[in-house]
Structure formats: structure tokens, C-alpha cells
Amino acid sequence: MSASFRPADAVDFVASRIPAFDGQRCPRIAIDGPDGAGKTHFADALADHLRGQQRSVVRVSLDDFHNTRQVRYRLGRHSPDGFWSDSYNYQRFHTDVLIPFRPGGSRRYRTACHDVATDAILNPEPQLAAPGTVLVVDGIFLHRNELSANWDLSLFLDVPFTETARRMALRDRSHPDPDHPTMRRYVEAQRRYFQECRPQQQATILIANHDYRCPVVLRG
């Protein structure tokens, strides 16, 4: 399958693939892809679309589950291994998000454990999701071995590093060349992810998003 869509139609296509459960179980949806692929924008659009269908939605970003700086940079600020191994607090992500939303879970969740700007550890009061709430999560590495079995539907936004580096440069003022030494931490870690976990193959739906105005569904 390969089909070009308008962005809104691509969102509608993904929404139509969300499993229908009995009204109690909560569908868990992952929006994966490299840094700069458009994950947050797509996940927000999907959540808005579902709410427009009168569905209850909880939006979570893995970026709100970073480890503290001391942990993230313990292998050095430029280490690809450190970015791969130490960026995120997967234990808190499981405890605060994945376990509450699994079949038979409490649905009492938290949306964050860390403030990346202040480096503060967060412990907000848990919130209670309604039965059947759709959990929409965006983030990199969502098809890691410790995460991949938790999704009822997953999407991978496939964008070449030449394009994601350009987008990140506009967003973060980073270097636009993915092979520049300052980009090594991020690009090499994600290449390792692609090699070890094959997220493009694992994802339920694969979308080429190098032109965000015309996403192409490659598999789904």
C-alpha cells in the first residue's frame, strides 16, 4: 500500500484504525519517529480529531519523562550511548502511564515526571481517565523492547535525517547537517535504534512525512 493524503486525511486514516474495544479497555496509541519528524503535531491533531468524535483522550509525551541531567549526561553530553540508554525514565513512564492504561489497569495516570527546563522531578496528583479513553503518546524510541508490546496501534513517521536536522535547526538552533559532530549524539543513537529495534517494520502504520503537507501512507 502507498497512498498520498492531505494531513487531515492522514489523521482520519489513523483514527479509523484504532481498535474498537468494549468501552472499558483503553486503546494505547504510539506516535514514533526521529527527532523533528512531526510526531507532536500529528499526535495533537489525532487527539483533536478523536475528541471531535466525542471520544475521551489522554495525551502524553515521552519528553515529559526525561531523566534528570545528572543521569542523561553521565556518559558525557555528546555520547550517543548516553542518549540511547539514559534519556528517559522508562520506569516512571511504565508506572505513571503504561500500567494504569493496560487492560484491567486503574486508569489513574500522571502525564509527567520531570520538567526538562528546570530539571525538577515531578509527582503531580494522579488523574482518573474515563473507561475507554484513548491514550495517545508521542516520542522517540517507542518501539524499544521494553515498550513495543504495550501499544494497540503504533505509527512511525519516516523522515530522512537530512530533513529532520533541517527542521531541528529551525526549532532548536542546532546544526542543520546531520553528520556534523554536534549532531552525533542524536543521530547515531537513532541509527542504533533503527538497527536494533526496526521500528519502521514494527509499527502498525508507516507514513513517509518528509513533506508534512503531503504525508504518504506506505503501510497500514
Q: Is 136 exposed, middle or buried (0-12, 13-18, 19+ CB in 10 A)?
A: buried
pTM (2 d.p.): 0.93
CB-based contacts of 190, cutoff 8 Å, min separation 6: 34, 35, 140, 161
Question: Which residue ranges form the domains of the chain, and what is each CATH number?
Answer: 3-219 (3.40.50.300)
Give the pLDDT means over successive 10-residue stretches in the chain (220 positions): 74 94 92 94 97 96 98 96 97 98 97 97 97 97 97 96 82 85 92 97 95 87
| Pairing assessment for the beta strands 216-219 and 28-32 based on DSSP bridges | unpaired
Phi, psi for 25 (deg, rounded to 5): -70, 145
Q: How far is CA 100 from the centre of its chain?
A: 18
All three cell numbers of 187: 543521530
Coil, strand or helix: which one is 201?
helix
| Closest to 127 in 3D by CA, of 156, 168, 97, 82 | 97
Q: Is the dihedral of CA 119, 80, 207, 178 positive or negative?
A: positive
Distance CA 78, CA 184 (A): 7
**For residues 180 and 177, what is the distance between their CA atoms, to the nearest angstrom?**
5
In whole angstroms, what is the distance from residue 165 CA to residue 82 CA? 19
Q: What is the pLDDT of residues 38-84, one digit of tens each?
A: 999 999 999 999 999 999 999 999 999 999 999 999 999 999 999 99
Q: What are phi and psi for residue 122, nearest 5 degrees?
A: -115, 145
Q: What are the grid coordinates assigned to 84, written together?
A: 540511547
Q: Is the dihedral of CA 107, 31, 178, 144 positive or negative?
A: positive
Q: Write down the pLDDT at residue 5.
A: 65
Look at strands 3-4 and 216-219 and give their pairing. Answer: antiparallel
Grid cell digits, residue 54: 466525542
CA distance 216 to 198: 19
CA distance 3 to 182: 36
Bridge partners for 137 per DSSP: 30, 60
